[in-house]
Amino acid sequence: MPELNLCLLPGDGIGPEVTDAAMAVLGAAGQRFGFTCRTQTQLIGGAALRAANSPLPDATRAAVTAVQAVLLGAVGAPEFDREPPARKPETGLLGLRKLLGCWANLRPLRRIPGAGTTPVREEIVAGTDLIVLRELTGGLYFGEPRGFSSNRQEAFNTLRYTVTEIERLARFGFGLARQRRHHLTSVDKANVLEVSQLWREVFNRVALDYPDVTLDHMYVDNCAMQLILRPTFFDVLATANLFGDILSDETGVLAGSLGLLPSASLGGAVGLYEPVHGSAPDLAGKGVANPVGAILSAAMLLRHSFQLEAPAAAIEHAVTAALQAGVRTRDLAAPGTAAVSTAAMTQAIIARL
Ligand code: IPM
Ligand code: MN
């Protein structure tokens, strides 16, 4: 029986609750499909700052590089909002992505009919099935120089990409499109930014190796609009780090809630899996958080780090079945209708495995 060697990083806010839910589902899937999980839990983010004075302590760094995959809850805590970068929870997450070399971030969205209310009309979102492929270890998030001028009258960040970074993401995107509907949309701001002009050149050159995939280019401002107007246009949407961060929150609206969206961060030896949502401090500790993003992240972990397609698909089907049966956490419930707890949602999914 395969044993999956995992590191859990529950993190902040609702992170511990949704990580517990995902582990419960992994445990149930393991019993049914014949695998076990060996887990160790480590600190990250605000929890790590409080306990070890670092958002990514050495013990965590050592642990995540010694396992096969990492499942993360969320990072972010308001008490650190005004602290310098070294004392911000988010710095721990960015450091983790960099440490693991996870440059390819997959954020899939498949609209489940009727799952969650969305301000976008059902006939527009119906059938939406797309993946945001976000570059995760470069761009504006990591570019140097960065900082404040000495008198704090100026601040600066650097947007920088190398051909190597763009090309590996492009090849990943074309490969992904090939397994799907053979349509790749590269999103940039090439009417203004040199970086985006290089980005376009590289995508066009790589496209010659994938003649069976249709490539189109879209400006990011237009893309923000097209995602709402005609989301079914998109298959694979490849973009830079900051643009992908922004556009993937928008896909949360199409899904019905950001709480439904999972992600996988790939490219290095160890895969990192985390829900797209944040730490939601206002919901923390109340048992009301939506665990689906974390549970679907666990399904992605089975698929991408362990090639366990059958249990991954079973978890995804169980989530769809629970949502279609009308089981709703607070974020999904229509105003005035009943909502279930994190634990009840998790049990509803396990019952359908
Ligand atoms: C995300 C988050 C992170 C990001 C934050 C918490 C640093 O918003 O994963 O989308 O900006 O990448
Ligand atoms: Mn984000």
What's the rounded mean pLDDT across residues 67-92?
A: 96
Nearest-ligand number for the alpha carbon of 76: 1
pLDDT tens across 137-182, in order? 999 999 999 999 999 999 999 999 999 999 999 999 999 999 999 9
Instruction: Please check whether the two domains, 1-103+256-353 and 118-255, share a CATH topology.
Output: yes
The whole-number pLDDT of residue 115 equals 81
Ligand 1 atom with the smallest distance to the CA of 248 is 10
Is residue 93 lining ligand 1, measured as CB closer than 6 Å? yes
Q: How far apart are CA 126 and CA 232, in angstroms?
A: 8
The whole-number pLDDT of residue 330 equals 95
The whole-number pLDDT of residue 114 equals 75
- State the DSSP string of 252-266: HHHHT-GGG---EEE
Q: What is the dihedral of CA 233, 239, 243, 246, to 10 degrees?
A: 50
Neighbours of 237 (CB within 10 A): 28
Q: Whose CA is nearest to atom 6 of ligand 1?
A: 90
Is residue 89 lining ligand 1, measured as CB closer than 6 Å? no
Catalytic (active site) residue 249 = yes
Which of the following is catalytic: 141, 161, 210, 273? 141
Domain 1-103+256-353 = CATH 3.30.565.10: no
**Residue found under tokens 């040199």:** 194
DSSP 8-class letter at 5: E
Is residue 188 lining ligand 1, measured as CB closer than 6 Å? no
The whole-number pLDDT of residue 341 equals 98
Give 339 Cα–ligand 1 centroid separation in angstroms.
27
Strands 264-266 and 104-110: what pairing?
A: antiparallel
Catalytic (active site) residue 189 = yes
- State the DSSP string of 206-224: HHTT-TTSEEEEEEHHHHH
pLDDT tens across 201-260, in order? 999 999 999 999 999 999 999 999 999 999 999 999 999 999 999 999 999 999 999 999
Catalytic (active site) residue 129 = no
Mutate to test the pocket of ligand 1, among 245, 258, 274 (most ligand atoms within 8 A of CB): 245
Residue 336 CB-half CA count within 13 A: 0
272, containing H or E segment:
strand 271-273
- State the DSSP string of 122-155: HHHHTT-EEEEEEE-SSGGGT-SS-EE-TTSS-E
The whole-number pLDDT of residue 334 equals 87
Give 243 Cα–ligand 2 centroid separation in angstroms.
10
Token pair belonging to 317: 């089907």
Which of the following is catalytic: 20, 235, 245, 331? 245
State whether residue 9 is helix, strand or coil. strand
Which of the following is catalytic: 189, 235, 273, 331? 189
Is residue 90 lining ligand 1, measured as CB closer than 6 Å? yes
Domain boundaries, the chain: 1-103+256-353, 118-255
Query: Cα(first)–Cα(last) distance of the chain, in Å?
Result: 19
pLDDT tens across 175-196, in order? 999 999 999 999 999 999 999 9
Sheet-wide strand order for 3-11: 36-41, 3-11, 69-74, 271-273, 264-266, 104-110, 129-135, 236-239, 183-188, 214-219
What type of residue is 4? L
Catalytic (active site) residue 273 = no
- State the DSSP string of 33-61: HT-EEEEEE---HHHHHHHHSSSS-HHHH
When the candidates are 3.30.930.10, 3.40.718.10, 1.10.1060.10, 3.30.200.20, the CATH number that belongs to 118-255 is 3.40.718.10
**Residue found under tokens 């911000």:** 88
Residue 335 pLDDT class (50, 70, 90 cuts): confident
Ligand 1 atom with the smallest distance to the CA of 75 is 6
Residue 116 in this model has a pLDDT that exceeds 80? no
Q: Whose CA is nearest to atom 12 of ligand 1?
A: 245
23, containing H or E segment:
helix 15-33
Sign of CA dihedral 185, 265, 345, 36: positive
pTM above 0.95, yes or no: yes
Is residue 249 lining ligand 1, measured as CB closer than 6 Å? no
Mutate to test the pocket of ligand 1, among 72, 88, 90 (most ligand atoms within 8 A of CB): 90
Catalytic (active site) residue 141 = yes
Residue 292 pLDDT class (50, 70, 90 cuts): very high
What is the overall mean pLDDT for the chain? 97
What's the rounded mean pLDDT across residues 307-323?
A: 98
79, containing H or E segment:
none
Is residue 76 lining ligand 1, measured as CB closer than 6 Å? yes
Q: Which of 105, 106, 117 is nearest to 254 (CA)?
A: 117
What's the rounded mean pLDDT across residues 282-307?
A: 98
